[in-house]
Structure formats: C-alpha cells, structure tokens
Amino acid sequence: MISGGCALGYRRGANGGTWIAKFRTENGKRYLEALGPADDARDADGLTVFSCGQAQERARKWFQRQAREVAGDLAPLDRAYTVADALADYRADYLRRGGKAVDRADWSADAWIKPELGDIDLAKLTKTRIVAWHFKVAETPPRLRAKAKAEPRHRAADTSPEAVRRRRSTANRVLTILKAALNHAHREGKCASDDAWRTVRAFREVDAARLRYLSDDEARRLTNACPADFRALVTGALLSGCRYGELAAMTVEDFNPDAGSAADAAVLREGVSVLLRVLYPACPHITQALWHELGFTATAGDLLDAPMPAVDEAALVQDEIELVLQIAGKTRGAIRVPAQADKAAIERTALDSPEFARFGDGKPARKVVIVPGRLVNVVV
C-alpha cells in the first residue's frame, strides 16, 4: 500500500514477475496497470526492467493520472497517448497560432524524434531515455539528402571540434521541438507530470558566436568582390569596426575633413598616429592597414619601424581637480579646485558652493572633512 486507494503489487509469471499498480476510487471501482518487468532475472535499468523503488516512482505518476481522469481533468484514451500523438497535437496548435516554420519542425520530428521516441507512452517516458536519445542525436553524423522513404544515409564521421559543436547545436534544436510538444501535451492535460523532460539540459556553449578575423588578403578579396556602390560601406566596416547600421545612419555632420583650423588637423593627425602605434602590438592587421591608408607610411615609414610614443610627464599634470562633495554624509555634487589648493581653500570652496546652500538647511558647518584628491564632507 502506497497511500489510500493506491497500491503496488507483484505478479509472478513463468519468465519472471511484473509490477502491477492498483488504483481504487471512492466508489470502489478498481483500475490496474502493468508497470513493467521486475528485476528477478536481470538488473534494473529503469527502462525495461524495474526495481521496487523504480516501480513505486512509476506507480505514483500513474496514480496521479488516474486521479485526474476520475476527476475529469484528463480525457481518457482508448489507447496510450504517445510522443507521436504529442507531436501531432503540437503541430496543429502551432499552425493555429500562425507558426511559419512547420516544415522544419516536421522534418526534425520525422528524422530524429519519431523513429526513437514516437511509439513511447508519454506516461512511461523517462528522463534517462530522453538524455540517451539526445546524446545519440549529437553523435550521429549529418544526414545526406535522399529520396522520400529511402533508407537514410549519413556523412562520414567527423570528430573535429567544429563538427562536434555543429552536431550538438542540431541536437539542441531538436530537443527544443520535443520539449515544446511535450509541454503542450502537459498543459492540455494529456499527462500528469513533466518530470521526465523538465530537467533535461541542452548542450552548453554550442550556439555562441564564432569569432574569426579576416587576414589582409581576405579583406582585400572581400572588398573586390563587392559591387561598387556597396564596396565603400564594407571598407568602412573593416577599417572602423562599426556595424553596417551605424555606418548607414551616419550623416555629413559626423565627419567633415575641412572643419577646424590647420592646427586642429595637425593635432588630430598626431593623436591618430599615437593611437595606431600603441594599438599595433594588440591588433597589427587593422592598424597596419589604417597606417597605410591614412598616409603615414609615406611620411614616417612602416608602422613596424615607427617608435613608440614617449610619455610627457608634464602633460599629465592637472591644473584643476574635481572632488566629490558630501553634505551630512550624502553625496550632493562635486567641486573643482586648483590642484595645489590647500585645505583652507578647499573648505571655502565647499562652503560657498550652491550645493551647500541648498542642502545645508541654513545650518552652520560644524566640521569639514577633506580626503585629499577624493572628496569633501561637510558635517552640519
């Protein structure tokens, strides 16, 4: 006896025993269900042979379904509701909701799901069975095109990391279709529990974007293959790293080579030269291309031979610094003071600030705490 009206029995047969679930309603009506062979002659595997504990778990799921059928929550069938039934019902619901990728779902179901899982009773579907099927899909080489109803053929096995990633990505997509169908069946009351598939995990990091950088020759061939009106956009994307949408959204005001004085242009050119030299060790291809396209090769030689920029210590000295201003321990703004200002000058600037006049509530400052180079806290 597992609970009131629910019991697990054992029926001995000529070739071994069978676990039997027994369910009794309040009006005395009895229902029996054969759960599967007992582990008399073979070790239990949870799929074809069951231990007592495994049989109890299957019995509990069946009891839940029977209780819901008796209560009217589930529509009883004259046969077992299978994975194929779940796929068919999900397909009909998908079309009703306006789904447009039904052909792809049908192909995946016919090629990968139905041959292995289609005939399984949904109430007897286990997580172990789904996980084993998922791994099998990932390890099977890609199918070759064949005529309808012809024996499926597969490509030669490929164990390279990229091939493994692609097969696992395919297995994840097929698993998504299976889970969608099973979840629909569970929502529609076709099964009592979703434990068998809810915790099945997909392969990780198989759909991440693959980073690959074009060599100079590949980038040149790419731009040469582009139509003339599209070539400038591709060149801009390769040289700047901007996305096509960002480039397409640019306006004339975003770049004006004639704007500013000659001195401004010289400063900008010097800044670009420094930037390219600093970035060259980390990204040599793009910086070399930019160095040449911007004309630095003609005036300063090859980027590889260009000297690294020297640090000007004097240029790093700041005339003014910004300090966080706190009033009664709360940040209220910031003040700017000369870099060499003493504590008295910093205190006067803080007390004369509009932030202190606003948040000091007219109270005199009891104390001013100064953390050099960082903040000023006025205590009121």
Query: For 54-78, what is the HEC assignment?
Result: HHHHHHHHHHHHHHHHHHCCCCCCC
Distance of CA 161 to the CA centre of its chain: 20
Local confidence band at 87 (pLDDT 50, 70, 90 cut-offs): very high
Cβ-based neighbour number of residue 151 at 10 Å? 6
**Does 261 score more than 50 pLDDT?**
no
Do residue 126 and residue 166 come from a single domain? yes
Do residue 98 and residue 189 come from a single domain? yes
Average pLDDT for 319-344? 88
**Does 260 score more than 60 pLDDT?**
no
SS3 8: strand
Do residue 190 and residue 99 come from a single domain? yes
Q: Measured between alpha carbons, how far apart are the two ends of the chain, in Å?
A: 75
- Convert the pLDDT of each residue in 141-183 to its tens digit: 887 776 766 677 777 888 888 889 889 999 999 999 999 999 9
Structural domain contains residue 186: yes
Strand pairing report for 16-24 and 6-13: antiparallel
Structural domain contains residue 204: no
Do residue 90 and residue 166 come from a single domain? yes
Do residue 87 and residue 193 come from a single domain? yes
pTM over 0.75: no
CATH of residue 364's domain is: 3.10.20.590
For the CA atoms of the chain, what is the radius of gyration? 37
CA neighbor of 191 nearest in space, from 61, 321, 56, 292: 61
Structural domain contains residue 206: no
**Which of 291-329 are b and which e, b meaning 16 or more Cβ less than 10 Å from the residue's Cβ?**
beeeebeeeeeebeebeeeeeeeeeeeeeebebebbbee
Do residue 166 and residue 246 come from a single domain? no
Structural domain contains residue 203: no
Distance of CA 57 to the CA centre of its chain: 34
Please, where are the H alpha helices in 280-352? Answer: 284-293, 296-300, 343-351
Query: Residue 102, CB half-sphere, CA atoms under 13 Å: how many?
Result: 14
Q: 240-245 contacts: CB < 8 A, separation 24 or more?
A: 241/286
Distance of CA 127 to the CA centre of its chain: 24
CA atoms of 141 and 96, how far apart (whole Å): 34
**Does 314 score more than 90 pLDDT?**
no
Average pLDDT for 117-144? 90
What is the extent of the structural domain holding 53? 6-71
Contact 308, 277 (CB under 8 A): yes
Structural domain contains residue 77: no
Highest mean pLDDT among 58-67, 79-88, 145-154: 79-88
- Convert the pLDDT of each residue in 341-356 to its tens digit: 899 999 999 888 888 8
Mean pLDDT of the chain: 82
- Convert the pLDDT of each residue in 40-59 to its tens digit: 878 888 778 888 888 888 88
Residue 148: per-residue pLDDT: 65
**Does 252 score more than 50 pLDDT?**
no
Domain boundary among 71, 97, 114: 71
Structural domain contains residue 302: yes
Share of the chain above pLDDT 90, in %: 18
CA atoms of 120 and 196, how far apart (whole Å): 13
Kindly state the tokens that stand for 286.
Answer: 């793009």
Do residue 290 and residue 265 come from a single domain? yes
Query: Residue 275, CB half-sphere, CA atoms under 13 Å: how many?
Result: 11
Do residue 105 and residue 167 come from a single domain? yes
